[in-house]
């Protein structure tokens, strides 16, 4: 594997076997070869990343790395505000919006020493996509460029899978971190509601919006969480819980862990295909072999969760966009218009009933979680669908597997669970009780480390792969060399970090 994880890159930095500048160059090589195909970036900021890489390299050489994220190339979904850098939400409505302040999470990740590679493709306002009538195209799935990445954190998922970045930010209101993570074969965590600040993240639904880290592995998500989590007085929903070390439980034994398989989610509510069912069954068998107790649990149906989720999201989103819907209706993409409009027509009574149902569901799931530590299902019912085709009704007749944990607010993670017949990623989803991210990440990490999925990257990278960096921690024999270009730089107009 030539593309290091965050943990591996940090270990190589510590040994001076790789430098942040070299790592940045490797990412740039892949970007220059494949960005025109994958459409990961809305606004690249490579000049800034280069400056940050040189500063990180200086810290590395003087033995003063700030921590595991120092010198790591990342990107931010283009709904995270970035000071002085346009933040478009992939919409004509905000095409020229340049915030004067960083989102809290952008600031915290910069303080940790990350290299900001750019602003990443999303669905319009994290809701309308994949759309082809916007100023920017949707991201393509590196595992199959005619397939959806899903969304809405699509650029982050595709960028991590393709090795453009080693991690990035996403937001998840009904699954927008976990579903693209599943389809792109990476790890994506939706933490407990309130653990990560929403300040400076363009809102979709105040009740259900969660920010989350996305990376190649659960371990990398844990490393990102350590830099991202913590109370933010600027976010009224920010938790005041003491934040743990999110890597603290990695490597723990799974013996005695109680895992509840939510069979009706993937067997009857939204039947998953045989490959996904096989992956869930294999995961359950793995956990049992590792000493966990596997049981079957029953939660409210996916349809019931989806109804609550859909009403809350569409009404709150319509409230956020009310002014522009009335005055700039035609400037929204067709897909987002079709999804926002019903929210403006739903009655106040129906909205309150959805919030009452939500609380009932939270309490019902909490009762189930008294008997189990972890829930197991999938994050997607099948491999990624074709990118083209009518998207308008997709979320309505097939309830997502991810929305339940936005409704309950508990943490959930999607991790790669192998590959289907066409070589497209499969995924499982794990969920834990609120504020038990360290346990959740440890279980996901144990699962990943016991399987070989993490050594496999999209075949698309074959011709673009830079000279391999050895991941054994000895000195790099060619540490001073830079990878050769594999293709001419053919999108220079967009690479200067300017709109």
- The CA distance from 147 to 35, in Å, is 16
Among the listed ranges 95-103, 174-182, 343-351, 478-486, the one in contact with another protein (CB under 8 A) is 343-351
Asked if residues 109 and 169 have their Cβ atoms less than 8 Å apart, the reply is: yes
319 binding another protein? (CB under 8 A)? no
- Alpha-helical runs (H) found in 162-204: 178-184
Q: How far is the CB of 124 from another protein (least distance, A)?
A: 17
353 binding another protein? (CB under 8 A)? yes
Q: Which of 211, 259, 325, 376 binds another protein (CB under 8 A)?
A: 325
H-helix or E-strand spanning residue 437:
helix 437-449
Residue recorded with tokens 């053919």:
490
Q: Which of 110, 261, 297, 307 binds another protein (CB under 8 A)?
A: 307
Q: Which of 61, 285, 288, 396 binds another protein (CB under 8 A)?
A: 396
Q: How far is the CB of 472 from another protein (least distance, A)?
A: 49
Q: Which of 17, 158, 218, 304 binds another protein (CB under 8 A)?
A: 304
Among the listed ranges 4-12, 144-152, 330-338, 413-421, the one in contact with another protein (CB under 8 A) is 330-338
Q: Note if 327 is an active site residue.
A: no
In whole angstroms, how large is the CA radius of gyration of the chain? 21
Cβ nearer to another protein, comparing 356 with 485 = 356
Among the listed ranges 29-37, 86-94, 346-354, 435-443, the one in contact with another protein (CB under 8 A) is 346-354
Determine the number of helices (DSSP H) and then strands (DSSP E) in the chain: 16, 11
Phi and psi of 85, rounded to 5°?
-125, 130
Q: Note if 152 is an active site residue.
A: yes
Going by C-beta distance under 8 Å and a sequence separation of 6 or more, which residues neighbour residue 328?
93
- For residue 131, what are its two tokens? 């759309």
326 binding another protein? (CB under 8 A)? yes
DSSP E strands, 288-442: 293-296, 374-377, 412-419, 425-432
Asked if residues 190 and 212 have their Cβ atoms less than 8 Å apart, the reply is: yes
256 vs 282, 315, 412, CA distance in Å? 19, 43, 20
- The CA distance from 166 to 172, in Å, is 19
Q: Which of 342, 451, 453, 465 binds another protein (CB under 8 A)?
A: 342
Cβ nearer to another protein, comparing 43 with 395 = 395
Among the listed ranges 242-250, 265-273, 342-350, 423-431, the one in contact with another protein (CB under 8 A) is 342-350
349 binding another protein? (CB under 8 A)? yes
Going by C-beta distance under 8 Å and a sequence separation of 6 or more, which residues neighbour residue 426?
182, 275, 276, 279, 378, 380, 383, 416, 417, 418, 419, 420
Q: Note if 492 is an active site residue.
A: no
- For residue 320, what are its two tokens? 């956020």
- For residue 10, what are its two tokens? 């940090």
308 binding another protein? (CB under 8 A)? yes
350 binding another protein? (CB under 8 A)? yes
| Site pattern 355..394 for another protein (x: CB under 8 A) | xxxxxx-x-----------------------------xx-
H-helix or E-strand spanning residue 412:
strand 412-419
- For residue 409, what are its two tokens? 């607010």
Q: Which of 67, 84, 137, 236 binds another protein (CB under 8 A)?
A: 236
449 binding another protein? (CB under 8 A)? no
- The CA distance from 184 to 175, in Å, is 14
Q: How far is the CB of 59 from another protein (least distance, A)?
A: 36
β partners of residue 489: none
Q: Which of 100, 242, 397, 484 binds another protein (CB under 8 A)?
A: 397
Find the catalytic residue in 19, 91, 152, 197.
Answer: 152
127 cis-preceded (ω within 30 degrees of 0): no
- The CA distance from 361 to 403, in Å, is 12
10 binding another protein? (CB under 8 A)? no
Q: How far is the CB of 51 from another protein (least distance, A)?
A: 37
From 244, 210, 261, 265, select the one nearest 374 (Cα to Cα).
Answer: 261
Count of residues that bind another protein according to CB under 8 A: 37
Find the catalytic residue in 176, 197, 205, 495.
Answer: 176
Q: How far is the CB of 205 from another protein (least distance, A)?
A: 11
338 binding another protein? (CB under 8 A)? yes
- The CA distance from 464 to 450, in Å, is 28
Give contact residues for another protein (rule: CB under 8 A). Answer: 207, 233, 236, 303-304, 306-308, 310-311, 325-326, 329-330, 337-338, 341-342, 344-346, 349-350, 352-360, 362, 392-393, 396-397
Enzyme catalytic residues:
77, 152, 176
């Amino acid at each position: 594997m030539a593309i290091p994880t965050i943990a591996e890159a940090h270990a190589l930095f510590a040994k001076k076997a790789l430098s942040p500048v070299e790592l940045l160059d490797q990412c740039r090589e892949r970007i220059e070869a494949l960005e025109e195909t994958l459409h990961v970036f809305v606004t690249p900021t490579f000049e800034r990343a280069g400056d940050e890489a040189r500063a990180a390299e200086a810290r590395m050489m003087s033995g003063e790395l700030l921590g595991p994220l120092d010198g790591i190339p990342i990107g931010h979904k283009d709904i995270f505000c970035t000071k002085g850098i346009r933040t478009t939400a992939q919409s004509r409505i905000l095409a020229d919006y340049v915030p004067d302040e960083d989102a809290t999470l952008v600031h915290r990740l910069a303080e940790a020493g990350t290299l900001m590679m750019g602003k990443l493709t999303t669905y319009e306002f994290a809701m309308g996509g994949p759309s082809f009538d916007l100023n920017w195209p949707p991201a393509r799935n590196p595992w199959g460029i005619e397939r959806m990445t899903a969304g809405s954190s699509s650029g982050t998922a595709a960028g991590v899978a393709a090795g453009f970045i080693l991690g990035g930010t996403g937001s998840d209101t009904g699954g927008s971190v976990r579903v693209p993570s599943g389809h792109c074969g990476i790890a994506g965590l939706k933490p407990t509601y309130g653990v990560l600040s929403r300040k400076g993240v363009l809102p979709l639904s105040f009740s259900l919006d969660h920010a989350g880290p996305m990376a190649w592995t659960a371990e990398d998500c844990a490393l990102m969480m350590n830099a991202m989590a913590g109370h933010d007085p600027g976010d009224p929903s920010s938790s005041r819980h003491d934040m743990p070390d999110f890597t603290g439980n990695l490597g723990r034994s799974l013996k005695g862990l109680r895992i509840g398989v939510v069979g009706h989610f993937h067997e009857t509510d939204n039947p998953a295909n045989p490959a996904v069912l096989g992956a869930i069954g294999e995961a359950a068998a793995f956990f049992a072999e590792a000493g966990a107790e596997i049981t079957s649990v029953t939660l409210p149906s996916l349809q019931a969760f989806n109804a609550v989720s859909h009403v809350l999201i569409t009404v709150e989103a319509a409230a956020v966009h009310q002014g522009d819907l009335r005055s700039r209706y035609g400037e929204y993409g067709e897909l987002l218009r079709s999804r926002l409009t019903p929210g403006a027509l739903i009655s106040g009574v129906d909205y309150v009933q959805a919030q009452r149902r939500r609380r009932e569901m939270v309490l019902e799931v909490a009762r189930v979680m008294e008997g189990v530590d972890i829930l197991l299902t999938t994050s997607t019912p099948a491999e990624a669908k074709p990118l083209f085709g009518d998207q308008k009704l997709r979320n309505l007749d097939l309830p997502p597997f991810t929305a339940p944990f936005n409704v309950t607010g508990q943490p959930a993670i999607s991790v790669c669970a192998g590959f289907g017949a066409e070589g497209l990623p499969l995924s499982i989803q794990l969920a834990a009780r609120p504020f038990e991210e360290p346990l959740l990440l440890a279980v996901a990490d144990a699962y990943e480390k016991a399987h070989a999925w993490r050594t496999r990257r999209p075949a698309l990278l074959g011709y673009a792969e830079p000279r391999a960096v050895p991941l054994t921690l000895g000195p790099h024999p060619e540490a001073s060399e830079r990878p050769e270009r594999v293709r001419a730089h053919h999108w220079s107009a967009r690479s200067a970090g300017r709109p």
